[in-house]
């Protein structure tokens, strides 16, 4: 879809862009560090936390950490043999991939490796992290949480309620399973519970000595250790976990402008969106097809509609609705065929595949129980043949629908004509009544003029009454109200 040329975001901030002088200063600082230190380590950071990296810097005050842009540091070292600032530094720049940096030090190699192997700091896991253990909460009070946190806990998915001012878990709840990829809500719950699953770790991967010798200390733990590009605009490509690209790709990468920021795309599972629309936000083909089938076949009461409705719920992954649909059918009973066996097989395939329900899930157990109850009512008919036979009946049904629609149009036309006649009659009647009232008023005024001399006494009496009323009203308006002081409570009057 073409990008709109009018819908442009304009930044109104006063921040200054990190331009070329800053990058030149970083290059010069890295090159000057070779005169002070005789060893350079390439390190990688897992579960990066800025505060913890500051603590590591504080422990190694006599050394220097560089954690800048990889491309800028590669320019400082030398990207090839011809550009080497020192001997074999191009081998160091080749290791600058992903979240890594340079560590300059004069300390012995054994001391550095021993310290960093022993150092690790646990921290709270974030979304996208794999859980290292199973966390299960039993039903009951949670006194560690304040009462004001109860709505937030309920928003995160915990079945809680406030009972006598104490946050209480209504039923047992499994926060996460071992090896499961955490969602943002699960990570927030683990943080509130104080359970730390992540570990901040700095790993030394490569060593360069001042005499030009190099040593690989460990293989890169970065899954994106291969060369990546700055992905912008039409050059945006999908990153894969495959090996390094061809030599042509490497040459093209080296020719890219160093001013571009390096962007690394990490695959994470779908994160639950609290504002998910369930209509415009659908992007999975199976979900779209399933929603269409469930929408069009949900109101039909025959074998074909029920079968496709069950298939649609499976593709749409609406397991709760499917359980209610099957349980209602099993409770109702009856000897007619309910759904085809082919539709049941397609539904079970979606239920058991990756992304479906787990084996110990309560909804899955309900579905399997309901299907076993309805097994005697499964039809052996082919679902495709049923649909084909129904399509063959379309011409006959179409003619009947046309006749029914014509009858409806004729009926609507007659109803419209009757409604117009009734409204016209009512309008004319109201108009006649208004004309009669106006004529009656006009004749009354003429009668008063004709018999004015005979009824002069009565007219004078009416005029006198009107004049008296007017004088009384004028007198009320001119009288000034006297000031009446408020009542004073004698209890507060000093004697």
- CA distances to 48, 50, 65, 223 from 55, in Å: 13, 9, 12, 26
Q: How many CB atoms within 10 Å of residue 288?
A: 13
pLDDT tens figures, 173-203: 899 988 889 988 989 989 888 888 888 888 8
State whether 59 and 161 are in the same domain. no
State whether 241 and 114 are in the same domain. yes
| Intervals of the chain under pLDDT 70 | 1-17, 220-277, 279-281, 477-495
pLDDT at residue number 55: 84
Interatomic CA distance for residues 412 and 410, integer angstroms:
5
State whether 343 and 403 are in the same domain. no
Helix H segments across 48-179? 50-59, 70-77, 89-94, 109-118, 150-155
State whether 117 and 214 are in the same domain. yes
Of 148, 147, 137, 211, which Cα lies nearest the Cα of 174? 137
Residue 458 lies in a domain: no
State whether 236 and 327 are in the same domain. no
Residue 218 lies in a domain: yes
Backbone φ and ψ of 404, nearest 5°: -65, -40
Range of the domain at 329: 289-381
pLDDT at residue number 226: 42
pLDDT at residue number 485: 57
Q: How many CB atoms within 10 Å of residue 1?
A: 3
Residue 253 near residue 94 (C-beta atoms within 8 A): no
Task: Give this prediction's pTM.
Answer: 0.41
State whether 347 and 420 are in the same domain. no
pLDDT tens figures, 313-346: 999 889 999 999 999 888 887 778 889 999 999 9
State whether 28 and 167 are in the same domain. no
pLDDT at residue number 229: 40
State whether 213 and 92 are in the same domain. yes
State whether 65 and 175 are in the same domain. no
Residue 241 lies in a domain: yes
Compute the Cα dihedral for 378, 379, 383, 387 and give only its sign: negative
Residue 4 lies in a domain: no
Domain total for the chain?
4
pLDDT at residue number 251: 44
Domain edge (last residue) among 176, 193, 210: 193
State whether 205 and 102 are in the same domain. yes
State whether 94 and 52 are in the same domain. yes
């Amino acid at each position: 879809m073409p990008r709109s040329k009018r819908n442009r975001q304009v930044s109104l901030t006063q921040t200054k862009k990190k331009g070329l002088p800053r990058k030149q200063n970083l290059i010069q600082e890295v090159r000057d560090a070779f005169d002070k230190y005789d060893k350079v380590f390439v390190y990688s950071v897992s579960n990066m936390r800025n505060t913890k990296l500051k603590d590591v810097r504080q422990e190694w005050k006599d050394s220097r950490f560089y954690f800048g842009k990889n491309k800028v540091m590669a320019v400082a070292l030398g990207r090839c043999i011809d550009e080497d600032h020192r001997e074999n530094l191009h081998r160091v720049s080749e290791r600058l991939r992903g979240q890594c940096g340079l560590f300059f030090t004069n300390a012995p190699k054994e001391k550095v490796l021993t310290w960093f192997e022993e150092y690790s700091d646990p921290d709270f896991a974030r979304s996208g992290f794999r859980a290292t253990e199973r966390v299960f909460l039993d039903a009951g009070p949670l006194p560690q949480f304040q009462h004001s946190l109860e709505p937030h806990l309920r928003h995160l998915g915990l079945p809680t309620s406030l009972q006598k001012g104490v946050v209480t878990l209504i039923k047992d709840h499994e926060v996460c399973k071992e090896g499961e990829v955490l969602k943002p809500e699960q990570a927030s719950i683990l943080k509130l519970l104080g359970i730390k699953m992540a570990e901040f770790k700095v790993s030394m991967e490569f060593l360069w000595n001042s005499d030009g010798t190099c040593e690989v200390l460990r293989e890169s733990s970065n899954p994106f250790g291969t060369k990546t590009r700055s992905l912008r605009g039409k050059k945006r490509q999908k990153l894969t976990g495959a090996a390094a690209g061809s030599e042509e790709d490497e040459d093209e990468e080296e020719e890219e402008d160093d001013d571009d920021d390096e962007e690394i795309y990490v695959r994470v599972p779908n994160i639950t969106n609290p504002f998910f629309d369930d209509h415009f936000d659908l992007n999975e083909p199976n979900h779209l097809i399933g929603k269409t089938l469930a929408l069009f076949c949900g109101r039909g009461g025959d074998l074909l509609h029920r079968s496709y409705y069950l298939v649609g719920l499976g593709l749409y992954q609406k397991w709760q609705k499917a359980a209610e649909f099957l349980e209602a059918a099993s409770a109702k009973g009856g000897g007619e065929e309910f759904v085809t066996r082919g539709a049941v097989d397609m539904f079970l395939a979606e239920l058991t595949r990756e992304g479906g329900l787990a084996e110990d899930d309560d909804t899955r157990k309900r579905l399997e129980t309901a299907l076993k109850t309805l097994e005697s009512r499964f039809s052996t008919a082919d679902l495709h043949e049923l649909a084909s036979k129904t399509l063959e009946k379309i011409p006959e049904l179409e003619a009947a629908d046309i006749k029914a629609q014509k009858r409806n149009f004729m009926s609507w036309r007659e109803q419209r004509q009757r409604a117009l006649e009734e409204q016209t009659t009512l309008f004319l009647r109201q108009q006649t009544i208004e004309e009669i009232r106006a004529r009656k008023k006009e004749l009354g005024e003429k009668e008063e003029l004709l018999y004015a001399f005979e009824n002069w006494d009565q007219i004078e009496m009416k005029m006198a009454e009107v004049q008296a009323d007017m004088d009384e009203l004028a007198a009320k308006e001119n009288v000034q109200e006297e000031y009446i002081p408020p009542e004073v409570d004698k209890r507060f009057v000093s004697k």
